[in-house]
A and B are shown apart, each in its own frame.
Chain A
Amino acid sequence: MSIAEKLTTIAENEQRVHDAGYDSGYSEGKQAEYDRFWDGFQQDGNRKNYWYGFAGPGWTQETLNPKHKIEIVDGTQNAQYAVGMFYRCGCELQANQFIDFSKIADKFDFSKAQRATDMFNSAHITNVIADFSSAVYANTAFANTWGTGVSSLTLKVSELLQNVSQMFYNPNLTRIEMMEGSVWAVSVAFNKCSKLDKVSHISIVDALSTTTSGLTVTFNKAAVNAAFGINVDDPTTYPEGSEFYELRYSRPNWTFSYGS
């Protein structure tokens, strides 16, 4: 190798060392910035109260990424730590842009939260996974009053739930899947969910309590008709033995309502 070639090689190596150092430093700087923000926001992981904690604009897939796992535990009326937690979260995003909650779901545990009112109301979030095993109050949790809203949901509920008449006031929802062990023991309305598919209807009905009485589940009439290829007003379109007939009368203790 000539002197000239050696000098060129040295210069190239210097550039590589510089680039590696820059990348490493940049990466460390970004990590330090991330740690500083979230350690402050989450009080080094000790923060308990996330009442409207991630509400409003400014949150994106990149920024909604807590460092410390958030486990909501509230037991008293004044401890409404999950209420409104994601209210209008990401509301400045485009209509077809959503924060994919499934990518960060392992950082949240709602299973001990008793109050989840307004939790995802009008949030620009999809693929929500919400274990509401302990929830008593969750009305408007997935409502959509601002033209945006949760579009896909995996949910667990229990007999503890009260008054959920507006929990699903949301035309954006296309899929609701109930987690294993879910039980609906309160009248519940999906009449605003005009895009719900067949899987969702089956999953919801399968979770209706078999032991309660006097309760009503309300679906969107157009969604039911489209999902099952029937006309709910005309029983001849779903005779005994048909998929919808068997589904509906698997819960003879429930009144089924079809609205809009």
Chain B
Amino acid sequence: MKVLIMADKGKVLTDGENYGKTFSLAKGVSVDKYHEITDEEYEKILAEQKTNMEG
């Protein structure tokens, strides 16, 4: 079965490691692995990553 999951408006899906608005799941992967965070939370994570990259 091919599974496509989408985040609600203003939200981002994540499995704790990968982030996206839409996920097309690999064969055998459960949707239970994913949860939503807000766009603001995601932006904060990106900002932290950018800061880390700049050292």
Q: Do A and B bind each other?
A: yes
By a beta-carbon cutoff of 8 Å, the part of chain A in contact with chain B is 121, 140, 143, 145, 165-166, 169, 187, 189, 191, 213-216, 218, 221, 232-233, 235, 248-249, 252-260
Contact of A258 with B26 at beta-carbon distance under 8 Å, contacts A140-B53, A169-B50 already known: no
Q: Which among B20, B22, B24 has the highest number of chain A CB atoms within 10 Å?
A: B20
The number of residue pairs between A and B whose CB atoms lie closer than 8 Å in the complex comes to 76
Q: Chain A contacts of B27 at CB under 8 A? A: 252-253
In the bound complex, residues from chain A placing their C-beta under 8 Å from that of B50 are 145, 169
B21 touches A166 (CB 8 A): no
Q: A210 to B32, alpha carbons, bound, how many Å?
A: 24
Given known A232-B22, A252-B26, contact A216–B17 (CB-CB < 8 A): yes
Residue of A nearest to B4 (CB): A235
| Cross-chain contact A191 with B20 (CB below 8 angstroms) | yes
In the bound complex, what is the Cα–Cα distance between A224 and B19 (angstroms)? 16
Q: Does B49 contact A (CB under 8 A)?
A: yes
Which residues of the partner chain B approach A189 to less than 8 Å between Cβ atoms? 18-19
Would A169 and B15 count as touching, CB distance under 8 A?
A: no
B12 / chain A contacts, CB cutoff of 8 Å = 259
Most B CB within 10 A of own CB, among A165, A215, A260: A260
Interface readout for B31-44 with A: 1 if CB under 8 Å, 0 if not?
00000000000000
Determine the distance from Cα of A175 to Cα of B16 in the docked complex, in whole angstroms.
Answer: 28
Measured in the bound complex, the distance between the Cα atoms of B32 and A82 in whole Å is 41
Contact B53 A248 (CB under 8 A): no
